Amino acid sequence: MHSDNSSSQYASIRSSLSSIYRNYDFHLGIIKITGICIMLSLICTTLVLTSSLYKIDKEYNKTECIQLLDKSDFPWNDTHCIQLFELPDNELYVRVCSYQESVILDIRRFHRGQATSIGLYLNLNQWNYLERLQNAIDKSIDNALNVTLHKNIE
């Protein structure tokens, strides 16, 4: 009896499953499509929200980031400018400064009387090394000028 009862239960379950698949097969397809649409809308919403968070202003001027300094000022509080030399370019200056018991040469481009971020610092060792290279640099400049003159003549 037990086997007849269990086989009838299996048959009942099989017929129930087949009727579920037959009756709800169309609905499962719609549920899948609805789920995909919901997922796509969530992804799109996330993209829209994050893109508005990181929106780039096209009218933003990058040069506004550069802090221009007065010639007499220096970016460090404990730096003291000893001497300021103007180079022939009228916008390049060499400043001899003391900073934390060391000497710094600041070669910097100025714009409308204010220092820009375009420039370099040399410590005393670098400056002395550059002085030792002066003759070699002068010879290289002469060679470059001779090459340029020969190209212009031809």
101/123 Cα distance (integer angstroms):
11
Looking at the fold, whether 77 and 94 belong to one and the same domain comes out as: yes
Residue ending a domain, among 55, 78, 101, is 55
Q: Taking the CA atoms of 23, 28, 34 and 37 in sequence, report the sign of the dihedral they define.
A: negative
Question: Does 36 share its domain with 105?
Answer: no
Q: Domain check: are 1 and 38 in the same one?
A: yes
Q: Are residues 44 and 75 in the same domain?
A: no
The per-residue pLDDT for 140 is: 92
Largest CA distance in the chain: 118
Domain shared by 14 and 37, yes or no: yes
As for how many domains the chain has, the answer is: 2
Looking at the fold, whether 106 and 37 belong to one and the same domain comes out as no
Domain, as residue range, for 34: 1-55
Say if residue 144 is in the same domain as residue 72.
yes
Pair (131, 72) in one structural domain: yes
Regarding beta strands 69-70 and 102-111, do their DSSP bridges make them parallel or antiparallel, or are they unpaired?
unpaired
Would you state the pLDDT for residue 81? 79
Contact 114, 69 (CB under 8 A): yes
My answer on whether 139 and 114 are in the same domain is yes
CATH code for the domain of 87: 2.30.31.10
Give the other-Cβ count within 10 Å of 118's Cβ.
13
86 and 139 share one domain? yes
Number of H helices, E strands in the chain: 3, 5
Each residue's pLDDT tens digit in the chain (154 positions)?
A: 455 666 777 777 777 767 766 666 656 667 788 889 999 999 988 888 877 666 565 665 555 555 555 555 545 457 777 888 888 877 888 888 888 888 888 888 888 878 888 888 888 899 999 999 999 999 999 998 887 666 666 5
Distance CA 140, CA 133 (A): 11
| Claim to verify: residue 33 and residue 81 sit in the same structural domain | no
Amino acid identity, position 133: L
Check whether residue 132 and residue 73 sit in a common domain. Answer: yes
